[in-house]
Structure 1
Amino acid sequence: MTVSVAIESPFQDEVKALVTALDAHLLPLAPEEFHFGLDLEEMATADMTVFVARTEAGEAVGLGALKDVGTDKGLRTGEVKRMFTLPAARGRRIGALVLDAICARARALGIERLVLETGVGEGLAAAVRLYENHGFTECGAVLDYPDSGYSRFFEKKLSA
C-alpha cells in the first residue's frame, strides 16, 4: 500500500472519523481527566498543523498534528498531538511517515524541540516504540501536563 501524507483541514468527515476512533481507543486506557486530546475546533487553530495519511485510493488511514507552543525551557517548542493509525492499516509504517512529516514541518517553522505526552500500558506500546525509534527520549512532565501514573512524556531536540 502506497501512502502519502499531507497537511489537511480537520473539518473533513474522514478526519473526524479518525479522531473518533482515536478517542475510542484511548478511552479505556486512563480516567477521563487524564485524556488530553484536542477536538476538531482546537485542531483548526492557527498554531496547529494537521497531517493526514492517505492511501493511493484516497482513504484516510492515519493522523497526526503539530502544535507550535512557542518558547518553553528557552527553546522554540512544538508538541506532537493526535497520532493515530487505523488498526487495519497498522504495521505499514504509516505512523513513521506522519511523524517524519511532523518533524520536517517543525524544522521548517524553526522549532528546536518537540515534546509529547502519551499514555502508559500495552495499548500504547507501539506508539512508544515509534517515538523512541524516531529519536524521542523519555523525560519528565512537559508543558502544563500533570505528572501522573497515566502519562509518559518524551522530547526530541531538532537540528536545523
Structure 2
Amino acid sequence: MKIKIDDLSGGEVITLLEEHLADMYATSPPESVHALDVDALKSPDITFFSGWLSNQLQGCVAIKKLSSQHVELKSMRTASTARNSGVASALLTHVMQVAMKNGYRQMSLETGSQAFFKPARNLYEKFGFSYCPPFADYTDDPHSRFMTKYLTEKP
C-alpha cells in the first residue's frame, strides 16, 4: 500500500470522510462527535494521509499538532472494501513513524465508548495506547474514550 500526504481534493477521499462522519453521527450523540469535516482537516496544524493499493483508496488517517511534542490521531478510517486486511495497522504504523521522525513524543486520540468502536479500541491497545483522562480541549464524556502513547521514552 502506498501512503501519501493528501490534499483532500479527491472524490474518493471526500466520500470516505463523509461515510466516516455519517457513522459517527449514527453511533454517537451530536455533542459527542469529534470527527472533523473536510474543511477542518485542511487546517495547517493537520497532516492528512491516504493509503492506496492499485489506485483504490484503502483508508485515511490524520495527525493534528497539539504542541511541539504532542499530536492527536484524527479521522482514522478504512474503506469498507479493505476492512480486516491490515490497512488500519499500516496507516497507524505510518503516522507513528512520521510523528517520531518529526520529533513528537506523544500521540493521543479520542474514540467512542460504544460497541461500534470496539475494533478501533482493540487496535489502539494492540499498538500500546493506554486509556487516559481527556486531553487538549476535550472534557469527560460517557460517549468518549481517550487514549495516549509515548512514542519515545518519557522525559
Amino acid at match of 1:42: A
What does the per-residue CA deviation read over 1:84-113, in whole Å, with 9 as the maximum and x for residues that have no partner?
112221100100111111101111111111
Say how many residue pairs are matched: 153
Partner of 1:70, secondary structure, is: coil
Retained in 2: the 8 A contact 1:117–1:151?
Answer: yes
Partner of 1:101, secondary structure, is: helix
Match of 1:64 among 42, 61, 71: 61
Amino acid at match of 1:59: Q
Partner of 1:11, secondary structure, is: coil
Match of 1:88 among 81, 86, 94: 81
Partner of 2:66, secondary structure, is: strand
TM-score, length-scaled by structure 2: 0.93
Distance in 2 separating the partners of 1:28 and 1:111: 33
Partner of 2:67, secondary structure, is: strand
Retained in 2: the 8 A contact 1:11–1:40?
Answer: no
Distance in 2 separating the partners of 1:10 and 1:132: 29
Map 1:115-134 → 2, pairs under 5 A:
115-134=108-127
Distance in 1 separating the partners of 2:125 and 2:132: 12
Q: CA RMSD in A?
A: 1.3
Q: Which runs of 5+ in 2 are unaligned?
A: none
Q: Kindly, what percent of the aligned residue pairs are identical?
A: 28
TM-score, length-scaled by structure 1: 0.91
Partner of 1:53, secondary structure, is: strand
